[in-house]
Amino acid sequence: MKIPFLDVYSINKEFYQDFSNDFKRVFDSGSLILSSEVEKFEDSFANYCDTKYCVGVANGLQALEITLRAWGITKDDEVIVPSNTFIATWLAISSVGAIPVPVEPHIDSFNINPDLIEEKITDRTKAIIVVHLYGSTCEMNKINEIANKYSLKILEDAAQSHGGKYQARKVGSLGDAAAFSFYPGKNLGALGDGGAITTDDEKLFKKVRLIRNYGKSENYLNNILGMNSRLDELQAAFLSTKLKKLDEINLRRRNIALRYIDELSKIKSIKIPKLNQNSFHVFHLFVIRHSQRKKFRKNLSKLGVETLIHYPIPPHLQSAFSYLNLNEGSLPISETIHKECISIPLYQTMNEEQISYVISSIDKASKNL
């Protein structure tokens, strides 16, 4: 049996007829940029996230960057960021000229450790970016207390956590603003790129709407320096269709993950994610750790189980951030995670036979090292 890491075709197949109707509606309307479909999705997604506002943009990275720009974060400002994340989180900071200041994660949850944040704050710190990595929400009560104490903005990088919750509150409403990605592999994925910003702040909402569309308030009247970062009508229509089933999708993913946790916890050589009782984990990814990752993945590949590594090199060791002078050994927890992490197949269309095969294959692979 062969189990792909992700089957985007099967995920989207159930929406095929709805997508066809969406396409016809958009095509017939003749309106392809920033029209009724984007407005409909923005309203629906804001409502879903329990926020007042949503602004559709081109992708998740620009959702982060636009928000930082709208707050006036700029050259030589500092932004607290997790050391363990996809590089896009750091790139958003560097793109506005600010300096990423990394904070180590909890090794079991992979998310930023709130107890290590305060010591990194200086008089140049302007914001904290929290990343709800792999679909698990950060410890927001502690982080909000710190932000309030030092008058810092909180930006949620929610690219992997659509529908996640912290103490019954939705991701997207847990800070001052949130940035989402709708890359096709996400729990709420488009059929191309897309992103969004959610917030309750009317002033921020108005400014990010200007920035995403050349900084113009009306045709050829540019109030501020902006950019072209617009969620297009067709992707918005597709996202509106899929949003109706997001909770169902997340529940199916959680049920698969809970079975993984139950059965894989018996295998001593692997380390599995620990659930936080305050977090409703939506399992964008199911990430385990193994000290012999290369051999372990090779064994799984021979058994037909495809795995990926999210992410092989931490941001601080990427050449792009060499100017920060954060050498190997400077962030040991993140480095350990990046050396050992393995993402195993998890998507809502997996059947019971496939799930069982992944579990049995991991057991076999771990015994043949």
Give the CA angle between residues 296, 302, 307 to the nearest 5°. Answer: 55
d(CA 345, CA 10): 14
The answer, as to whether pTM is greater than 0.85, is: yes
All domains of the chain in start order, with CATH: 8-103+110-243 (3.40.640.10), 246-367 (3.90.1150.10)
Evaluate whether 189 touches 121 at the Cβ level (below 8 Å).
no
H or E element: which one contains 61?
helix 60-70
Distances (CA, A) of 360 to 79, 104, 190, 204, 327: 43, 33, 32, 50, 39
Evaluate whether 259 touches 251 at the Cβ level (below 8 Å).
no
Question: How many C-alpha atoms does 170 have within 13 Å on its Cβ side?
Answer: 19
| pLDDT tens-place string over residues 227-277 | 999 999 999 999 999 999 999 999 999 999 999 999 999 999 999 998 989
Evaluate whether 130 touches 143 at the Cβ level (below 8 Å).
yes
The structure tokens listed for 315 are 């941001």
**pLDDT tens, position by position, for the chain (369 residues)?**
999 999 999 999 999 999 999 999 999 999 999 999 999 999 999 999 999 999 999 999 999 999 999 999 999 999 999 999 999 999 999 999 999 999 999 999 999 999 999 999 999 999 999 999 999 999 999 999 999 999 999 999 999 999 999 999 999 999 999 999 999 999 999 999 999 999 999 999 999 999 999 999 888 899 899 999 999 999 999 999 999 999 999 999 999 999 999 999 999 999 999 898 999 999 999 999 999 999 999 999 999 999 999 999 999 999 999 999 999 999 999 999 999 999 999 999 999 999 999 999 999 999 988
d(CA 100, CA 81): 6
CA 73 to chain centre: 22
